[in-house]
Amino acid sequence: MAAVHTGNGGKASKNGTAITTPSSEIVQEAKDAFAEVVTKHMTEKCGMSNAIYNPTDDNLPVGRCTSCHMPKLAKSGAYSTGPDFYGNQALVEGDQGSHVFDIVWPYESTATTQGGPVDPKYSTIYTRPDGVARSYKGVGYMPNSCSKCHAGARQASIPVTAY
């Protein structure tokens, strides 16, 4: 870690002695060691042996600790939505990261819906049977640690006819 940090212009010391800037080979060796140990972690903890470690890719940050441990479960501005396993629109993630560090498994987030219509026009306001207007986004299942990248870990709301 010190090699990568100092290689990027940071400062580190060992027993009070400053570590000199390492060669690019040493920095690469250190990054490879990260990739190996984090891939092992993902394999052991959630069976993700076939995922390619690429934590700096913002679209698919495989191996970035926060992608699983601080997933964006809450929102202040907006949720992003996408298809679930069946192609119905579901919440993918919000814009506020969890600060708990706990993994939120898909089975845990599916316990938190209020129910709503399976409607491809998820962003529209619809009228509940009791006449109250609600946005689909207000009632979808909560996102979880896996829903950003795995459609199968998302769940669209269950259609309900009465509240």
38 binds ligand HEC (CB under 6 A): yes
Asked if 10 and 18 touch (Cβ cutoff 8 Å), the reply is no
When asked if residue 45 is in the footprint of ligand HEC (CB under 6 A), the reply is yes
User: According to the binding rule CB under 6 A, does residue 39 interact with ligand HEC?
Assistant: no
Q: Phi and psi for 24 in degrees, rounded to 5?
A: -65, -30
SS3 48: coil
Instruction: Tell me the β-bridge partners of 126.
Output: 134
Binding mask 71-110 vs ligand HEC (x if CB under 6 A, - otherwise)?
Answer: --------------------------------x-------
User: What would the two tokens of residue 132 be?
Assistant: 């109250």
Taking the complex as a whole, the smallest distance from the CB of residue 132 to ligand HEC amounts, in Å, to 34
CB of 40 or CB of 121, closer to ligand HEC: 40
Number of residues that bind ligand HEC (CB under 6 A): 23
Q: Say whether residue 2 binds ligand HEC (CB under 6 A).
A: no
Choice from 48, 91, 92, 139 touching ligand HEC (CB under 6 A): 48
67 touching ligand HEC, by CB under 6 A: yes
Binding ligand HEC (rule: CB under 6 A), the pick from 26, 51, 70, 151 is 51
- Pick the closer one to ligand HEC by CB: 63 or 94: 63
Q: Which residues bind ligand HEC (CB under 6 A)?
A: 38, 41-42, 45-48, 50-51, 60-63, 65, 67-69, 103, 145-146, 148-150
